[in-house]
Structures are given as structure tokens and as C-alpha cells.
Amino acid sequence: MPIMQILNAGPVMPVIVLRDVAQALPLARALVAGGIRVLEVTLRTPAALDAIRLIRDALPEAIVGAGTITNAADLDAAIAAGAQFGVSPASNPALLAAVRASGLPFLPGTMTPSEVLTARDAGFRALKLFPAQQAGGIGMLKALGSVFPNILFCPTGGIDAAAASSYLALPNVGCVGGSWLAPAALVDAGKWIEIEALARAAAALREPK
């Protein structure tokens, strides 16, 4: 699935940090039941790759990606685990070249106009703005849109349920990334009904394209 289609599959891409692989399937089921199909499982914990494998095998309706990819080794591991797309917090020429060679749909991380230009010139038209709030938030996205009109962003970092709709109203925002859909306290407590409710509210922010 092309990365543009992945960004347009739903308004919010949850940033998922799993410390226990046993939490992967109930969490993913709750999010999908709530209408959130695109799931970014970050490679911040030892459980991440196994979690990606489990979700891919059990929930074909989910679109499962790997986040926090920072080098070619991370990229290879994510692909081997079955990730359908990748996301990086930042990018450099070596990572962008490895991604292009792999063919994996990918969302390179950027924060500055120079980084956006580098990623665009490497052939990427969908980018992550991270950390979005610290980078200037909505004002930064408006400024970037005026000089990079053909770039679609997924702003992530410091965005919550209250702010999401303002970001989604921007023409150069395909979706937003957020950790509020899978907060550690609810995940650790196994409160899947509450997480499904959060997902349902997030899915209602905008109809899928």
C-alpha cells in the first residue's frame, strides 16, 4: 500500500510503545474495533518486533508499521517482522537511500525546512514532522505548506485529542500521530474498552479518504 494511501486511511496514527508482547493483540483489536486501522509500533522496546509479527498474523484488517527506525539494521528487522510501512523520527542520506532500496512505504522524520528539502529531493512526498509542537506546530505547517505545496505531513509529538482537529484541518496534513490512543496506564491495566472508546473518538475526527 503506498504511503499516501496509508496516511489517508484514518485521521490518527497511534504511536504504540509495547513492553509486553502479550499486550499486542488485545491493544490492536481494541484500536481496530474503534475504527483505527493504521498502527505504528515503535521499535523502542524488545517486544516491538514480536508484536508486529503477532498483529500481522492475527489482524489482516490492520495496517501495521514500525516506528523509530533510525538505521538500515532497524529497517531490515522491521521488514523481516512483516511491517507494512516504516516511520523514522529523523532521517539522513544513508537511511533514505536504504529505504528507497528496500521499497518499504516510509515516512521519513523531518523538523526543519532543510530536512524537508533533503527528503523531497530523495524522492519522498509524505513526511513526518517531529516533534511537531516543538517545531512550531500549526504555524510551522502553514509556513512549510507555502513553499512545499506538494508535501503531505503526519505531524507527531505534543499533539493530543484536543489539538488534533486543528492540525487535521490543514490541507498539507494527511493524519496526525499521537500516543494518547494507547496510554501506558490503560495498556498496563488492560483497559481495552476504554482504549476502544479513545479510538472511536479519534476515528470520528475525520472520515477516511
Q: Which residues are catalytic?
A: 40, 128
Asked whether the beta carbons of 27 and 182 are under 8 A apart, the reply is yes
